[in-house]
Amino acid sequence: MQRDARLGELRRRYWRWRRWTSRVLAALIVVSLLLHVLELAVIIRTRALARDQLAALAQSVEQVKGQTATFHLALKQNVPVHAAVPINQQLTIPITTSVKINQQVNVPIDTPLGTYSLPVPLNVDIPVNTSVPVNINQTVNLSTTVDLNLDVPVVLPISQTSLADNLEQLHQYLIRLEGQM
């Protein structure tokens, strides 16, 4: 009988312990399930956020292709210039003037008595009205240094650079990646 009583007590303790462990295990399973549901919700939310960010990034890349890159190129240097400049030109120079002659000229006269020098005074205004053609056929050699100090604005449309192809590939990749999310 004592053995039966002891056996009965052991059975009761066993069932109490089993009930208590079953409840604890059930509670742990419920907590585990809740944590998995929470984890799945976070994964779904993160995935949606990543999809939205990929779409925004793809749109930004598409917008960059339509923009321009603007910068200023500063040129500060001496540039040597060596050139031969041919000049072949015909000019007509008009001359309108008056030439005054006020001089005494000795004119020799031969006579049977010998040569006699006769002084002749000249006081004359001679009008000159003419055109003189002048031909210039010459090569002028130039050798100098030009000091460049320029600030050149440069505007490059990105769509016309080699970067446009890379941006298009990135845009397509982002769209594919967004579709996989």
- In this predicted structure, what is the pLDDT of residue 69? 85
List 95's β-bridge partners, or say none: 130
Does a structural domain hold residue 149? no
Does a structural domain hold residue 151? no
Q: Model confidence over 42-93: pLDDT tens digits?
A: 999 999 998 889 888 889 888 888 888 888 888 888 989 899 989 899 989 9
Does a structural domain hold residue 148? no
Does a structural domain hold residue 155? no
Does a structural domain hold residue 153? no
What's the structural domain count of the chain? Answer: 1
Measured between alpha carbons, how far is 160 from 146 in angstroms, rounded to an integer?
Answer: 33
Domain range enclosing 57: 2-143+160-180
Predicted confidence (pLDDT) at residue 110 exceeds the cutoff of 70: yes
Q: 161 by DSSP, 3-state: which?
A: coil
Cβ atoms 151, 74 nearer than 8 A: yes
Q: Is-above-0.75 flag for pTM?
A: no
